[in-house]
Structure 1
């Protein structure tokens, strides 16, 4: 698209921003009885560097519009940091389909440094009083591939993100957004006992049925605290245009790489115009059961665009809006209550510290001391002390606020973009005279020379004599 200069290059993406999700959608979401929107945001909303092929800063403009529309229609926002430099999971919705470059490979530490900077910048903005009652939840990283870089390093990263978000909110408890941690595909049981005494943290799990086996996780809230299904759909198989990615085929038809024999054709699952009333009723029953079992959930997604070839939605069980229009999504989601169990499945109440009350933001020293930053070693790369790192010498980026005036034309204070003036640490940036690899480099490539390591600068890690020898790097899956 960038090369298509005759038609506007990357600027063509802005037409999508302008036309796909509009104020009308927010009005319909509210009318559907929903109360939250989860909005994915890539790091390029803040900046791009060097030759990164993303449209910089434009999506931020439209996120600000989303805040205005959410405020107008009484909705709340879960801001989800969805795409990190180098990719946190190797999937296309992280910016590029391919390798994992966060907490993995030679640029894994530098990419994590940069990602944490962006979390800090976003937190400073949404913690401002003008926005904190609309953007009330912050998913700090979408679907990090925990099996690749290990839960220990993921917890270290999450603890650093937690500290940055809470610092942005200022002193005292109850400030800033609720923090949502994706469980990193480790399972909910692996998070029991983590972040005890934190200030308003919750777990995010994505219980899709169509990409693998059935989930064995409990529907009841585990001891961690608030647990939310940050993504689910009504798809019981992976039929649908580009559900797995562009041109990658489907498991159901046996055309997806590594899948088994074909189960059948996808046409009956995608051609919703042929669905009988009985089939629509069955799908709605599944929707009601899912909503009741999950309790706290975000449906992926509100809307699917029409195919430019067929002129209709080709992934119907992923579109909430289409389900409302065609009759397989409940007109009132509250009607789901009791579908699975007429008793009240919520085990509560949550502890005071889990909701910002007494005991919040009192993380235990044995936990914080066990998960200090940075990690000692990364998968596919070895000791962090031998890897490239950035130095905190740059001026932090302050995200711009919208411009408002009252009826008399007097400017309305929309915030400075940076709440905590005491939060004045530098932003991580490349060090002159040092070599760095592309953030998206294959994780098997060796580090560059000369190195610009944290250990060499005594910037982010202990002196070499105090660095624990790293474990043997885990093989990549």
Structure 2
């Protein structure tokens, strides 16, 4: 197959300075990134799954060729008129004209195990993006040699590479896979969860979810061996830089081997067999592209993300896609791509970085809204853990409302039109969002309740009896009293509320949990907590009961994370964070339904009764946003923290090529989708303006001379 690099074109004008010379920048952060060095580390406050941060940036990494056709379509538009800025609401130029959305009615047919799979008639009529004709070959998917097209507990599954395993599912779930009908949505993970081709009912159907972290967005504690190989690597930015320099080991393409092997089809089968029904899948924006100066491996992960969708479909698992990274970093944590800097909606490049982010949200939305993927991806988290303490709630809410309008202009409004939209609580808790953004169509709030990052030692025993007579000490009741009340209140005052991350960690122990840098945990007994093979049965039972209480209290829970990879010595160094390891060794429940009523048994009541207002789930009133709300949260926002008024800050112009995400191809059949749902969405993408000396989009410069000559789009 052809090299993907021959089928992509990055912005013709680099978004970062080529020679480090910036007009009016104060200090030295305007230079191009320099090689990482531990001597340049500076501390940053403790954060979820994170601790210390570097001050040095990583150098530009040249792209290397891959042996797969994984190209995105870069279709040059015609001669568009330049816009003042990107993605405006009433009174300002909007992202694109709302197209007439064609409603596709999906017939939900619930069939028994070992049924005849209905075949779709697909034609190879892909038209590509409406703005151009440069259409690379779509990503290929090998024909599965399955002899069966469906099976339940005890059935034999044959994978794409010909290996076989036995499917274990004691809950009545069954898989479906027919190479001639690759978009069949009849699979069901268990008897109490509706099949994919049946509408999920919020407040009725019970969500039991797990994250698959560390797969497409790297974290040191989830894949420690990757980071141990490169001791100076502290995040994906520095790891990518160091890998690229290590050509003898395969360069940055070592990451593709990780994508291919860290999670397999067996994992998805085990997730369904564990009684779970949702997967939260963190993905990076560089699945679409990177800009000059960004060392991440571009586009390659998309092939494996598509494969994840197919595996989820096969086992009846619904996927919450979480866009885990943002240009410039939204929080400075290692799981944003780069530690120690935050330049999204913050600083001189805060607005320009947000322009890119809204465009990435648009591109993903166009793909996920296609009927072939709508059932598999019914929820889209548009940004992970945007740090509200730096960004500010007013500015972040403006971004949320702008992103919402961009998404709903593609999907339309009302139940069945596009995915639920998930917003981060900004690591600020749920209460500040009560009553905000009324009448938004199918928008959920995502909170991440953890005890591990309080800075406290948390030495209270878990291997003694709790008030209900089960092991767990004070921890199960503490989960219930800490989280159930705020979750229930949010379910009524905001709408659908999910706990996109929680874990079994009652303390801050775990190898590389705070990053590879030297760190002293608050808990003094991490040697015990990291050595899971020496835990006794009471300890395991206590952790299990804490997990059950956490599930019950958070109501729509997603455990972080499904699996933790081994350290260089082959052992798992963060056992409290691995659902799979706990399932295999007795400290995670084999049946999540046992969590129901756990808090009540501990004397904690007040769980949400499942009744939402109609507009909160796409019913009457959905999309009828009060004018006062739109006026309160304008776009561009009134100000950017650390930057100023957006009108005098650097910004991009709408003259760039539109990127589209290619669908998979299948050997046994042809598909007619092209990755772009709304053919009326033709607005060009943001791109740098010639003559504008942009500050480093990932740098730390906070003072610039404004306005910057040549950086304001023509009126």
TM-score above 0.5: yes
Deviates more, 1:437-446 or 1:77-86: 437-446
In the other structure, the counterpart of 2:609 is 347
Work out whether residues 326 and 336 of structure 2, in 8 Å CA contact, stay in contact via their aligned partners in 1. yes
Deviates more, 1:420-429 or 1:213-222: 213-222
Which residue of 276, 283, 287 corresponds with 1:34? 276
Q: Distance in 1 between matches of 2:691 and 2:254?
A: 37
Q: Distance in 1 between matches of 2:487 and 2:282?
A: 25
Q: Please identify which structure carries the higher helix content.
A: 1
Q: 1:151 to 1:25 in 2, by over 3 A?
A: same
Aligned residues: 442
Deviation per CA, 1:351-408: give whole Å up to 9, x if none.
11111111111111110111110012211112212110000111221101000244xx
What secondary structure sits across from 1:323 in the alignment? helix
Deviation per CA, 1:406-433: give whole Å up to 9, x if none.
4xxx4133x2111011122111000112
Q: Distance in 2 between matches of 1:138 and 1:201?
A: 10
TM-score, scaled relative to structure 2? 0.60
Q: 1:375 to 1:344 in 2, by over 3 A?
A: closer
Extract structure 1 runs of 4+ deviating beyond 3 A: 170-174, 213-217, 447-454
Q: Distance in 2 between matches of 1:363 and 1:22?
A: 43
RMSD (CA atoms)? 1.7
Corresponding position: 1:419 with 2:677: yes
Which residue of 117, 120, 132 corresponds with 2:359? 117
Corresponding position: 1:325 with 2:584: yes
Q: In the TM superposition, what is the alpha-carbon distance from 1:168 to its structure 2 partner?
A: 2.1
Which residue of 251, 272, 283 corresponds with 2:543? 283
Which residue of 210, 213, 216 corresponds with 2:452? 210
Deviation per CA, 1:205-254: give whole Å up to 9, x if none.
000111017857623142101110000111111111111111242432xx
In the other structure, the counterpart of 1:243 is 513
Work out whether residues 388 and 447 of structure 1, in 8 Å CA contact, stay in contact via their aligned partners in 2. no
Work out whether residues 437 and 448 of structure 1, in 8 Å CA contact, stay in contact via their aligned partners in 2. no
Q: 1:193 to 1:32 in 2, by over 3 A?
A: same
In the other structure, the counterpart of 1:166 is 408
Deviates more, 1:165-174 or 1:435-444: 165-174
Work out whether residues 415 and 617 of structure 2, in 8 Å CA contact, stay in contact via their aligned partners in 1. no
Instruction: Within 5 Å, give how 1:73-88 maps onto structure 2.
Output: 73-88=315-330
Work out whether residues 286 and 299 of structure 2, in 8 Å CA contact, stay in contact via their aligned partners in 1. yes
Q: In the TM superposition, what is the alpha-carbon distance from 1:164 to its structure 2 partner?
A: 1.3
Q: In the TM superposition, what is the alpha-carbon distance from 1:116 to its structure 2 partner?
A: 0.6
Q: In the TM superposition, what is the alpha-carbon distance from 1:153 to its structure 2 partner?
A: 0.2
Deviates more, 1:170-179 or 1:129-138: 170-179
Work out whether residues 86 and 440 of structure 1, in 8 Å CA contact, stay in contact via their aligned partners in 2. yes
In the other structure, the counterpart of 1:338 is 597
In the other structure, the counterpart of 2:694 is 436
Q: In the TM superposition, what is the alpha-carbon distance from 1:452 to its structure 2 partner?
A: 4.2
Deviation per CA, 1:17-52: give whole Å up to 9, x if none.
010011110000000000011111111110011121
Structure of greater relative contact order (alpha carbons < 8 Å, 6+ residues apart)? 2
Q: Distance in 2 between matches of 1:264 and 1:197?
A: 48
In the other structure, the counterpart of 2:623 is 361
Corresponding position: 1:179 with 2:447: no
In the other structure, the counterpart of 1:295 is 555
Q: Distance in 2 between matches of 1:175 and 1:338?
A: 34
Work out whether residues 323 and 381 of structure 2, in 8 Å CA contact, stay in contact via their aligned partners in 1. yes
Work out whether residues 151 and 186 of structure 1, in 8 Å CA contact, stay in contact via their aligned partners in 2. no
Unaligned runs of at least 5 residues, structure 1: 253-262, 459-477
Q: Distance in 1 between matches of 2:685 and 2:662?
A: 17
Instruction: Within 5 Å, give how 1:343-422 maps onto structure 2.
Output: 345-406=607-668, 410-413=669-672, 415-422=673-680
Which residue of 541, 559, 565 corresponds with 1:305? 565
Which residue of 471, 474, 488 corresponds with 1:220? 488
Q: 1:211 to 1:452 in 2, by over 3 A?
A: farther
Q: In the TM superposition, what is the alpha-carbon distance from 1:173 to its structure 2 partner?
A: 5.4
What secondary structure sits across from 1:2 in the alignment? helix
TM-score, scaled relative to structure 1? 0.89
Work out whether residues 198 and 361 of structure 1, in 8 Å CA contact, stay in contact via their aligned partners in 2. yes
Corresponding position: 1:4 with 2:261: no
In the other structure, the counterpart of 1:234 is 504
